[in-house]
Structure 1
Amino acid sequence: MAQARPADPTAPRSPVPPRTPRPERPALTRERIVAEAVSLADGSGLAALSMRALAGRLGVEAMSLYHHVPHKDALLDAMVDAVFAEFHAPVAGRPWREELRRRSVVGREVLLRHRWAVGLMDARRSPGPEAVGHHDAVLGCLRRAGFSLAATGHVFALVDAHLYGFMVQELALPFADQEELAVIEGEIVDEATAAAFPHFTEFAREHALRPGWSFGAEFEVTLDLVLGAVAGLVDEDAAGEGDIGAATPVEVTVPVLGVDGCKAGWVGALLEPGAPRPRVVVAATVAELVEAVRESADVRVVGIDIPIGLPDSTTRRADALARQALPGKASSVFTTLTRAAYAADDRASADTVNRSLSGQGVGSQAFALRAKILEVDAWVRSRPTVEVLEVHPEVSFATMAGAPLLPGKKTAEGRAARLEALAAAGVARPSVLEGRGYAADDVLDACAVAWTAARRATGLSRSLPDPPEVFSDGIPAAIHA
């Protein structure tokens, strides 16, 4: 056998490839464990949560978890505490009704994200600091507002029963939208059923299946009924001083858009979280405006200065209540015509139709906006995937300033008053005030509408009337502020 030659010590050696460093895992902490457990429950439900499954997602051995959470019950306590941290904590000294309303509206949004948590929120025997702190904030808000200890208990129990009870029912519904509801209705309501259960059939066909209805939309309407019912329990003489009025700077938590008509078509004021001032956008149609804005911002609420929800044979309560809210400026609110009147081709025909239905004549301003009203009506009835509100800028300005702004909006004095009111309410001077096809008063009105849309997104807005009227078109008719 041939012997192997010894290696030549002078020959160049092949370079040793460098070691690939192992990727560093994030440190295993209690916060990371809880966050991953919440994510697992959000995606797969609470039944899928086990210490072994959680360890697998974190890339560790199950025993490693017990250095941070002693057992699964402690993990559930921490998960519920993390959910409470996402709730709005009412602030003592601010208007109690607005604070509790926002707490419930935000709470519903949180529980829709964490559906597994609904039955656990007040069921843990060892609540964490976020849970205790949240309850303390609610109690403090009610006590500061003038509720006795007994009344505070009544209100807290009723508001929680509404929130958690509604969520249990909403999450258990066997349908996700009106299309699925229509299928179910078609399967269970035959002619025999309709004859035997006329009220059930009437509600299903004449209300629940109307365009725009959803069970979730009942949440805020019923919440306002609850808050209105307990308002009589407050002792005004015992209320703390220093309540913060409506001009408290608005908190922009999600992108919202305020829209006003102008010569060019429509002008919008976009408010975004963290943005220093409103961004002004212009388009020929409201649909084009909203779509243009949504290319760069996930707008959640669109407020529009135009009547939404047209009556059949009456006037609207929204218009009458808005006039009552504007002493000295009531003339800025015109009476919305009936749907049939807006379908007429000219003012004379519209006047004849409207008088025959509601007994009201047709003003020039009301009919001059016919094209824009019908445009927005058609757009809303197309079911855009965004919440749409009717907003009257003068009502919004009066809400933020505490009184109507009497100087005309087209005057220098009126412009200054509106800029001052917006600044005090947390809306900075917009990026531009006027341009081709739109004037300064159009932009400032759009900003006021955006302010109300931001209040709606945080659960603070009010509606006139409350709850809204609903006519044959199925669209809630109310002016928000």
Structure 2
Amino acid sequence: MPPRPRSPRPSLSRTRIVEEAVALADTDGLAALSMRALAGRLGVEAMSLYHHVPNKDALLDAMVDAVFDEMHSPVVGGDWRPELRARSVSGRAALLRHRWAVGLMDARRSPGPAAVAHHDAVIGCLLAQGFSLPAVGHVFALVDAHLYGFMVQELALPFVGEEELAQIGDEIIDEATAAAYPHFTAFAREHAMQPGWTFGAEFEVTLDLVLGAVAGLAPASAPTTPAPVSVDVPVLGVDGCSAGWVGALLEPGAPRPRVVVAATIAELVETVRETADVRVVGIDIPIGLPDSTTRAADALARRALPGKASSVFTTLTRVAYGAPDRAGADAVNRSLSGQGVGAQAFALRAKILEVDAWVRSRPTVEVLEVHPEVCFARMAGAPLRPSKKTDEGRRARLDALAAAGIPRPSVLEGRGYAADDVLDACAVAWTAARFAAGDAERLPDPPEVFSDGIPAAIHV
């Protein structure tokens, strides 16, 4: 009987070598890692490894780089607190998977590209939020001391689980110890040894304390609110809704915004212009689609919404919006800008393409991109925390609009549109009126311009 042919081994590559080295260290510890042991695991001669990594030190650099690649890299322009929190939480998860890496993360003399990119993202996120360079250094020292210090302690604990902790506690706290050290005994028996307690649960609690200290390094800025808007020419604020589009029309002398609904943006604007000579139309939709990058407008809008940065999604590249499904859009967008495609970003695809086509048809009105949450934050001097879909959130937005000179609209909800749609349209109309009066701001200023030739900026 002829011998059965052997299945071919996967070809040797630097990536495969690093993956196997990490797996070996994960299972057997760093002390077990040698070039000979790694070669045996890969089924090759040790000398063949040196075609891909020059020595063990370079291998360790690459292994640490792989761990950095598993950590969340803060988004430049995102709110520093949730971004740093996600970094530390993901860092602990990575170090629990790769315990050998504790103590090595910032100890390498030749950091790899993932490590450098990670640190660059942290620095960029903090600088974008107004932290000074010395403050960035303080933040790194404090946050990293918490992450790595906590991991050293967590991984060194001499027990795993409640049963082992209870056993050790009984061994340590005898009657004599309990009598001599009542405070230590009370803490151990009444807190640490209670069912459900784990040392790991302390990580996020103490992390929030650390981030609270970091907040003391953040630049102080006194909240300012603009004067009530003056409506001197008809303007229209528009938001998407289930019926299509809902508009809030502001006219000179009108007691309140008039609400108009239509299936398409072109139909909405034409309907309004039958009775009002609208000069400016603001729309809550991205206008000006990037080719192979993210947009500065989105990053700056997130920066203007500390604590609510997640309400600003990242605009996809123009090619990605042309994909028929989210999976295709994700693949295209990652290849161009390095960013994945969220469900919300892709769900707005049809409306974004509709507005894009309408703007490129050169309508005879000034068209602005506006983000309602940035508007409300500007009106109130700080982001509005309650959700716009709650009674509390609706009251807060009505109060902000009233203080900004926009009375309660004629209706708040109807068939195919909800109260939050109408309030967002009113906020957009507020910015349109500010633009008509020459008071609006642009993020960024001047706007970016991509290959479509459309200025890309969020107005407020």
> Normalised by the size of structure 1, how large is the TM-score?
0.50
The whole-number CA distance in structure 2 between the counterparts of 1:241 and 1:412 is: 31
The question of 1:134 aligning with 2:118 is answered yes
Check the 8 A contact 1:246/1:400 in 2, yes or no. Answer: no
1:398 positional shift: 3.2
Distance 2:111 2:47 in 1: 24
Matches within 5 A, 1:273-288: none
Contact 2:88 2:147 in 1 (8 A): yes
Q: What is the aligned counterpart of 1:242 among 301, 304, 313?
A: 301
> Which residue of 2 is the match for residue 317 of structure 1?
none
Matched, 1:155 2:139: yes
Deviations 1:393-426 (A, max 9, x none): xxxx93586984449xxx99799759989xxxxx
Could you tell me how far 1:248 is from its partner in structure 2? Answer: 3.4
* 1:158-177 superposed matches below 5 A: 158-177=142-161
1:104 aligns with 2:88: yes
Unaligned runs of 5+ in 1: 1-16, 252-272, 278-396, 422-481
Residues 230 and 119 (structure 1), Cα distance of their counterparts in 2 relative to 1, 3 Å cut: same
Alignment match, 1:217: 201
Q: 1:367-446, aligned counterparts within 5 Å?
A: 398-399=386-387, 404-406=392-394, 417=418
**What is the CA deviation profile of residues 182-214 of structure 1, one whole-angstrom value per residue up to 9, with x for unaligned ones?**
111101101110111111101001111222211
Contact 2:387–2:393 at 8 Å: present in 1 too?
A: no
Separation in structure 2 between the aligned mates of residue 143 and residue 151 of structure 1, nearest angstrom? 9
Count of residues in Structure 1 that have an aligned counterpart in Structure 2: 263
Give the share of equivalent positions with the same residue, in percent: 67
Q: Per the alignment, do residues 275 and 121 of structure 1 end up closer, same or farther by CA in structure 2, a change over 3 Å counting?
A: closer
Conserved? CA contact 2:388–2:420, under 8 Å = no
The structure-2 alpha-carbon separation of the partners of 1:400 and 1:118, relative to structure 1 and needing over 3 Å to count, comes to farther
> Is the alpha carbon distance of 1:161 and 1:399 closer, same or farther for their aligned partners in structure 2, counting shifts above 3 Å?
farther
- Rounded to whole Å, the distance in 2 between the matches of 1:135 and 1:275 is 25
- 1:152 maps to amino acid: V
Contact 1:142 1:152 in 2 (8 A): yes
Q: 1:139 to 1:167 in 2, by over 3 A?
A: same
- Secondary structure of 1:119's match? coil
- Identify the match of residue 166 of structure 2 among 151, 157, 182: 182
In structure 1, the partner of 2:320 is: none
2:76 aligned counterpart, secondary structure: coil
| Distance in 1 between residues matched to 2:34 and 2:388, nearest whole Å | 50
Partner of 1:212, secondary structure, is coil
Following the alignment from structure 1 to structure 2, what is the Cα–Cα distance between the partners of residues 227 and 398?
Answer: 22
Distance 1:224 1:104 in 2: 10
User: Residue 405 of structure 1 contacts residue 414 of structure 1 at CA under 8 Å; is this kept in 2?
Assistant: no
Structure 1 residues 163 and 119, CA gap change in structure 2 (3 angstroms): same
Determine the structure 1 residue equivalent to 2:448: none
Residue of structure 2 equivalent to 1:387: none
Q: Does 1:31 align with 2:19?
A: no
1:10-49 alignment to 2 at 5 Å? Answer: 20-49=4-33
Contact 2:388 2:394 (C-alpha < 8 Å) held by counterparts: no
Per the alignment, residue 252 of structure 2 pairs with none
Q: Find out whether 1:201 has 2:185 as its counterpart.
A: yes
1:20 positional shift: 3.9
Deviation at 1:67, TM superposition (A): 0.7
- 1:442 corresponds in structure 2 to none
Change (3 A) 1:231 1:64: same
8 Å CA contact 1:155, 1:230 repeated in 2: yes
Q: Deviations over 1:142-176 (max 9, x none)?
A: 11111111111001110000000000000000111
Aligned counterpart in structure 2 of residue 80 of structure 1, from 42, 46, 64: 64
Of 66, 73, 81, the residue aligned with 2:50 is 66
After superposition, the Cα gap between the structure-2 partners of 1:406 and 1:242, relative to the gap in structure 1 and judged at 3 Å, is closer
Alignment root-mean-square deviation, CA: 3.5
> How many angstroms apart in 2 are the aligned matches of 1:97 and 1:174?
33
Partners in 2 of 1:165 and 1:46 — Cα distance?
19
| Partner residue, 1:314 | none
**Local SS of the residue matching 1:120:** coil
Aligned partners of 1:149, 1:181: CA distance in 2, in Å? 44
CA deviation after TM superposition for structure 1 residue 21, in Å: 3.2
Task: Check the 8 A contact 2:78/2:309 in 1, yes or no.
Answer: no
Rate the CA distance shift 1:206–1:63 in 2: closer, same or farther, 3 A. Answer: same
By how many angstroms is 1:22 displaced? 3.0
Counterpart of 1:81, as a letter, is: D
Q: Distance in 1 between matches of 2:92 and 2:415?
A: 40
Kept in 2: contact 1:147–1:233 (CA 8 A): yes
Deviations 1:47-69 (A, max 9, x none): 11111110011000001001111
